[in-house]
Chains A and B, each alone.
Chain A
Amino acid sequence: MNEGRRTWLVTLAWLWVGLPFAYGVYELIQKVVQLFGG
C-alpha cells in the first residue's frame, strides 16, 4: 500500500466512525444546553 492510499484509507476510516459519533455528541450537547440553559 502506497503512502497516498494509506492516508486516504485512514481518513476514510476515521470519518466512518467520527461522523456518527459527532452526531451523537452534538445531539447530547443540544439536550444539555436546552435543558439547563433553555
Chain B
Amino acid sequence: MAVTFLDRAHTVAPANWSRWLIPPAALSVHLAIGQAYAWSVFKPPLEKALGLSGTLSALPFQLGIVMLGLSAAFGGTLVERNGPRWAMFVSMTCFSSGFLISALGAYTSQYWLVILGYGLIGGIGLGIGYISPVSTLIKWFPDRPGMATGLAIMGFGGGALIASPWSSEMLQAFGSTPSGIGTSLLIHGLAYAVFMSLGVFLIRVPAEDWRPKGWTPPKDNGNKMMTTANVSAASAIRTPQFWCLWVVLCFNVTAGIGILEKASPMITDFFRETSTPVGAAAAAGFVALLSLTNMLGRFVWSSTSDIIGRKNIYRGYLGIGALLYLTIALTGNSSKVVFILCAMVILSFYGAGFATIPAYLKDLFGTYQVGAIHGRLLTAWSVAGVLGPLIVNAIADSQKRAGKVGPDLYTTSFYIMIALLVVGFIANELVRPVHEKYHEPAVPETGVREAK
C-alpha cells in the first residue's frame, strides 16, 4: 500500500525532532474537543429559536458523550494501528463537520441535523480525538508519562474555559435567531478545523530506538508495578487488573461528577438556612473555581504520580477523597470555607483520576496498545456519567419531597460517595503486576501488529 501523509509509517520523527512539539500537538486536539463541556452555552438560544425543551436541547451533548465512550472503546485498536496523525485527522474531520452539519440544521430549523451533526458525528471526533495522542505522548515521555498525559488531558478540561466565553460572545454578536446560531456553529466548525490542523501536521511517533537524552530504560528499578513487557488490548480486558482500574476510574469519576454536575444548586441549598446564604452569582463563581481545580489537578497530581508512583497517587485520590467527603458530611453548613476547600480538592482528584490513568495503564500493560486499552477503560466514564448525577439528583429530590432542606438534601449522597470511594480504594489495593501469561512476545513498539 502506498505510504500516505496520514500513515503511521509517514509520521516517524527524524532524529532531531523535538519531543516538546508533541504536547502542543496533543493540546490542539484536546483543547478543541473539550468544547463539548461548553455545549450549555448553546442550549438557551436553541430552546428559544427552535422552541425546544431543556431535555431536548441537551440531546446533542448527551449523544456526543455516549459516542465519545463508544468510539474510544471500539476505535482504540484502529487508532493504534493507523497511528496518531490518522486519528487526529479523523477527529478533526468529524468534530468540525459535526459543527457544519449542525449549522445547516440551525439555518433550516431542522433540529435533527444538530443532533446528528454535533452529537453523532462530532461525538466520534470526541472519542477518537481523546485517545489519539495518549500512547504517542507516553512513548515520547517514558521518563515522565504522568506529566505528558496530564498536560494533554488538562487540555480537555481547558477546552470549555476557552469555548464558553468565546461561544457566548459569538452568539451575542450574531444573535440567538436560527441564522445567528447557524453562523456561530459554522464559525466554530471552521475555526476548530484550523486549530486542530496543528496537531495533524506536528504529531510524530518516535523512532523505535529513540530514547530521551541521558535516559535509559530501567531494567529493574525495584518497582514491580512498572512492566517492561507488553500486553495487547484484547488480552488486557481479560486481566483482573483492567477491571480493578475500571472500578477505580468509575467510582473516582462518580464521586467527582456528583458534585460537579450539581455544584451551583448544591452550594446554594447547603447555606440557604445560614446567616450568610450563597447567591446565584457567588454560586456561579464556585462552579468556575471547581472548573479551575478540576483542570489544574489533571496536570499537578498526574505529574506528581511520576515521582510517588501510580498506586500511591490513587490511594490519595480515593482515600483522601473519602475523608474530604466525610468532612463535608460532618461539618454540614457550619463552615463555608471548609465546604469550598474540600470540594475544590475533591474536584482536583476527579480531574487527576482521568489524567493519571493512561500512565497507570502504561505501567501495567506497557506501551504496545496502551491507547486502545485506555479507550476500552473509558467505558467506566460513561457509566459514571450516568451514576453520579443519578445518585445525587434522585436523593436530593426525594429528600426535598420529605420536606428536608440544607445539607440534609445531600448528606446521604455523600455517604454513598464515601462508600464508592472505599470500594475504589480496595480495587486499587488489589492491583498487582500483570501475569506473564498475558504478555506479548517481544514486539517492536510500533503498535502495527494485529492484536491477538
Q: Which of B156-193 contact A (CB under 8 A)?
A: 158, 161-166
In whole angstroms, what is the CA distance A35 to B250 when docked? Answer: 33
Question: Which residues of B sit under 8 angstroms from A14, Cβ to Cβ?
Answer: 20, 24
Q: Is the interface of A mostly helix, strand, loop or mixed?
A: helix
Which A residues are closer than 8 A to B by beta carbons? 1, 6, 9-10, 13-14, 16-18, 20-21, 23-25, 27-29, 31-32, 34-36
Question: Which residues of A sit under 8 angstroms from B20, Cβ to Cβ?
Answer: 10, 14
Q: Mark B242-255, 1 if CB is under 8 A from A, else 0.
A: 00000000000000
In whole angstroms, what is the CA distance A5 to B103 when docked? Answer: 39
How many chain B residues sit at the interface, stated as a range, is 20 to 34
Report the number of A-B residue pairs with Cβ-Cβ less than 8 Å: 72
Q: Which of B274-288 contact A (CB under 8 A)?
A: 281-282, 284-285, 288
CB of B165 within 8 A of CB of A32, answer: no
Q: Whole-angstrom distance from the CB of A23 to the nearest CB of chain B?
A: 6
Q: Whole-angstrom distance from the CB of A5 to the nearest CB of chain B?
A: 10
Which B residues are closer than 8 A to A by beta carbons? 14, 16-18, 20-21, 24-25, 27-28, 31, 155, 158, 161-166, 195, 198, 202, 281-282, 284-285, 288-289, 291-292
CB of B16 within 8 A of CB of A1, answer: yes
Q: Whole-angstrom distance from the CB of B154 to the nearest CB of chain A?
A: 9
The 6 listed contacts between A and B (C-beta, < 8 Å) are: A6-B18, A13-B25, A20-B31, A21-B158, A31-B288, A35-B284
**Knowing A17-B155, A28-B161 touch, does A36 contact B282 (C-beta < 8 A)?**
yes
In whole angstroms, what is the CA distance A18 to B31 when docked? Answer: 10
In whole angstroms, what is the CA distance A6 to B17 when docked? Answer: 8
In whole angstroms, what is the CA distance A21 to B34 when docked? Answer: 12
Question: Which residues of B sit under 8 angstroms from A27, Cβ to Cβ?
Answer: 161, 164-165
- Residue among A10, A13, A27, A32 with most chain B CB within 10 A: A13
In whole angstroms, what is the CA distance A6 to B16 when docked? Answer: 9
Question: Which residues of A sit under 8 angstroms from B16, Cβ to Cβ?
Answer: 1, 6
CB of B21 within 8 A of CB of A28, answer: no
